[in-house]
């Protein structure tokens, strides 16, 4: 019974979440469409901020449910808060740096292909 509680329940929950995401994406293909319109930094930083905050909260919820509530490991929440904040900070830095790289690559492709031709080169 202990194996079911500590191994099967978390794996089944993760599978259910993943299956729900896949089913949603299959029914809403336009939701994942990538926009090629330039995005200003304020909007991009807002998106990065909300994404990281949402991920941090989800991470803490996972620790709370699976480590504390199901498994009964006391004292892991403090570690999760501190280490999760470190991961969230690293994620913000990575997202901002990669956004800057993406923006630079996109602008160099547009300049190379000429005005009005976009990344496809007029095809």
**Is residue 65 situated within a structural domain?**
yes
**Is residue 93 situated within a structural domain?**
yes
**Is residue 120 situated within a structural domain?**
no
**Is residue 13 situated within a structural domain?**
no
On whether the CB atoms of residues 5 and 70 are closer than 8 A, the answer is yes
Model confidence pLDDT, tens digit, residues 22-50: 999 889 888 766 666 777 889 889 999 99
Model confidence pLDDT, tens digit, residues 51-71: 999 999 999 998 888 888 877
**Is residue 78 situated within a structural domain?**
yes
**Is residue 122 situated within a structural domain?**
no
Model confidence pLDDT, tens digit, residues 83-108: 999 999 999 999 999 988 988 887 66
What Å distances lie between residue 71 and 42, 48, 78, CA to CA? 42, 32, 16
> Which range marks the domain in which residue 94 is found?
40-113
User: Which two three-digit tokens encode residue 104?
Assistant: 């630079």
- Give the number of domains in the chain: 1
């Amino acid at each position: 019974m202990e194996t079911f509680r500590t191994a099967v329940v978390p794996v089944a929950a993760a599978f259910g979440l993943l299956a729900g995401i896949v089913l949603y994406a299959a029914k809403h293909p336009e939701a994942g469409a990538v926009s090629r319109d330039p995005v200003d930094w304020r909007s991009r930083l807002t998106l990065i901020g909300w994404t990281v905050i949402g991920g941090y909260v989800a991470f803490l919820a996972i620790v709370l449910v699976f480590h504390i509530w199901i498994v009964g490991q006391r004292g892991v929440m403090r570690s999760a808060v501190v280490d999760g904040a470190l991961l969230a900070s690293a994620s913000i830095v990575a997202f901002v740096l990669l956004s800057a790289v993406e923006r630079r690559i996109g602008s160099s492709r547009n300049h190379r292909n000429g005005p009005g031709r976009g990344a496809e080169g007029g095809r």
